[in-house]
A and B are shown apart, each in its own frame.
Chain A
Amino acid sequence: MPPVLTVRDLSKAFGAIRAVDGVSFDVHPGEILGLIGPNGSGKSTLFNCILGQLAPDTGRVEVNGRDVSGRRACDLNKLGVGRTFQQLSVFPQMTVLDNIIVAGQEHRGTMIGRLFGAPDAGLTAEADRMIEFFRLSHLRDEMAGSLSYGQQKLVDAAMAFMAGPSLVLLDEPAGGVNLTMLANLKDRLVAYNREHATTFVVIEHNMEFVMALCSRIIVLAEGRVIAEGTPEEIRSNQTVIDAYLGG
């Protein structure tokens, strides 16, 4: 099967700083790929280039075999790419239910069709299922802004998954979340991946989280890939230890 995501020779420089320097990798369907590296190694820049927020200087990004370099975020989403954000990722003055419905409605029919169709675009049942999957049913009608940080992260993930993407990029999903919620989050992500065979790419700093969640890990340093392998291989890789995991 063709890779879900292909990145080839991606480079992005800011002035003299080469944030991303000739990065290439494939992401295979159904896997959970971790992207780790010290601060400044280019992970976020790489993400932003893939997701259309930044235009890469050189290189190519393909999703399901299609060249998507430089496309707008909403177009990428329609092509089956979802993402979560590090911060401020929900719609605070809308209910959790509405947050999730909006994530799915743009994939239902045409814009004009939605104007004349049902107010919930027929998505209430599906949204409720998603809310239940993330164990947020008791918060269904609460304003998303009144939720705790960890709960908002769950809603964020639910939104990213709602449209049934084939690829989801998660940007530091574990950041700022307490241990209990973290376990819950990891459990839900693994369950979702298993049930729907959705491919994940995860940027993370929380080593425990990454090692437990991901099936394969790519290590970036100074904009370049320095290692690639299973969690065990990475943990024992000397180059990685020197650059990142620390002595």
Chain B
Amino acid sequence: MSEFLQVVLSGLATGSIYALAAIGFTLVWQAAQTVNFAQGEFVMLPAFFVLIALNWLGWPLWAALAFGLVISVLVLGLLFKKLVVEPMLPNTGLPLIIATMAVAILLKEGAKEFYGAEAQPYPALFPHTTLSVGGAVVSIQDILNILVSLSVVLALTLFLDRTRTGRCIQATAQNPAVAEILGVKTRRMVLYTFLINAALAALASMLISPVYLAKFSNGETLGIVAFIAAIVGGFNQIRGALVGGLLIGVLDNLTATYVTTTYRAALPLVLLIVIILWRPQGLLGTSEGRQV
């Protein structure tokens, strides 16, 4: 039983980080009609910005993290929107998918060329200590990961529901034409969505890199998990992506521990196929159309 608790808890921890990536992915899909196939690389790259600040510039950790966040928001939010997405609108079909895939290649190769191909050691944010709770060995890092992620999700939900800007973003997601008529600056709302996604991805990167190490190829698996979590959970609800992320994290861990390690990656994939075919709006999603 205590092993089960351990597995579930550490699954929740990774899952909460996946959720951040999934939520960002959802936001951008819903509010900006952009399916970002580079989301995994968006989570991979900020770690390298942090490493650059740490190792090349010699900055202290907190400064490096801030640097990573700011650069990510600028590059993966602002630049991505202005240089890649904006010129392609309203062509949001296959060309945009291809373009985001090309961005993924660009970021991946960029990290490999400019920093290095080997997995890079990455500073841990939280101490590696463990607690003993009722016989189960619980990692402080896991608990803090969950807490940080959930607080961010809470803050984001409050922002979207309670602030004027947040509600404008929601309006833009539901019906851009009507929102525009009602005076919402939809272009700016779309920009904010991209910035939020970049910030979420950067945060996810900082939480997960201590575990996975920073490697240029991380994006592939992280990306697929983000997609699956978002779609399975219910991609037109933030809490859907959250639930999706947590679910995938826990299921993945449970599968690896109790069922099979070689096919652990198959479960989320099968889940994805089943959900898309049977209930495309996801477990928590509504089939009403776009909303965040």
A–B interface present (Cβ within 8 A): no
